Amino acid sequence: MHREGRIIIIGFFILFCILSFVSWKFIPSPYSILAVLPFWILYGFILWFFRNPIRTNQASPLDIIAPVDGKVVVVEEVQENEFIKGKCMQVSIFMSPLNVHVCRYPLLGKVIFTKYHPGKFLVAYHPKSSELNERTTVVVQAENGQNILFRQIAGAVARRIVMYAKDGDQAKAGEEYGFIKFGSRVDLFLPLDSKILVKVGDKTLGGVQKIAELH
């Protein structure tokens, strides 16, 4: 289980135990079981949501690994104005509430920039969500000197973003750098000459799947 879910998991377990005890004490069987069954189904979903599977990869210094599980919704050339301040390739991955929500570094290198941005809560697939929504920005400098920017973006439901990355940290492809609760998206901004290995509609496996190569 992910550390971000510990308090929630413990709190709901205690609450549902109390509700189950009250139900079994005051409602005759089998109706008592039917009364509490939805709560324990919900608890199962909570446990599933906060799962944190171990992922490994054999990434080289020029490999870009999927930072999250999800579906590729954008692959296009854009202008990035926060840090890169130039043209780059944007690859965006949308996460549903059923996906693993651990956010992982997409490459090897050094963290040279981190920033949290308060903002709106537009639906995560909205074209302007990358600029207007609550979000975090992390930039990692690859071993070849190229700067790779990626963002966690909140959505209409996901209103809790956690970022662990700090300036000066050593990034390792596949290692955890954050967590997003209840669905959203992650945007990556890559150099124009990067070899993109995914297309819109593809499913990604965070921390494992290679989605691009740097030159």
As a whole number, mean pLDDT of residues 173-185 equals 87
The residue that leads in pLDDT, 171 or 26, is 171
As a whole number, mean pLDDT of residues 176-180 equals 93
Q: What are residue 194's phi and psi, to 5 degrees?
A: -65, 145
- Which CATH number is 63-213 given? 2.70.70.10
C-alpha 133/C-alpha 192 separation (Å) is 25
184 part of the active site:
yes
The residue that leads in pLDDT, 1 or 95, is 95
Dump pLDDT digits (tens) for 73-97.
999 999 999 999 999 999 999 988 8
Dump pLDDT digits (tens) for 108-164.
999 999 999 887 766 655 566 666 778 899 999 999 999 999 999 887 655 578 899
Per-residue model confidence (pLDDT) at position 49: 83
Per-residue model confidence (pLDDT) at position 136: 93
Per-residue model confidence (pLDDT) at position 121: 62
The residue that leads in pLDDT, 148 or 6, is 148
Q: Does the pLDDT of residue 178 top 90, yes or no? A: yes
Dump pLDDT digits (tens) for 18-64.
999 999 888 888 888 899 999 999 999 888 888 899 999 999 999 99
Q: Where are the domains of the chain?
A: 3-49, 63-213
Per-residue model confidence (pLDDT) at position 18: 94
Dump pLDDT digits (tens) for 186-203.
999 999 999 999 999 999
The residue that leads in pLDDT, 27 or 210, is 210
**Of 23, 92, 184, 194, which residue is the catalytic one?**
184
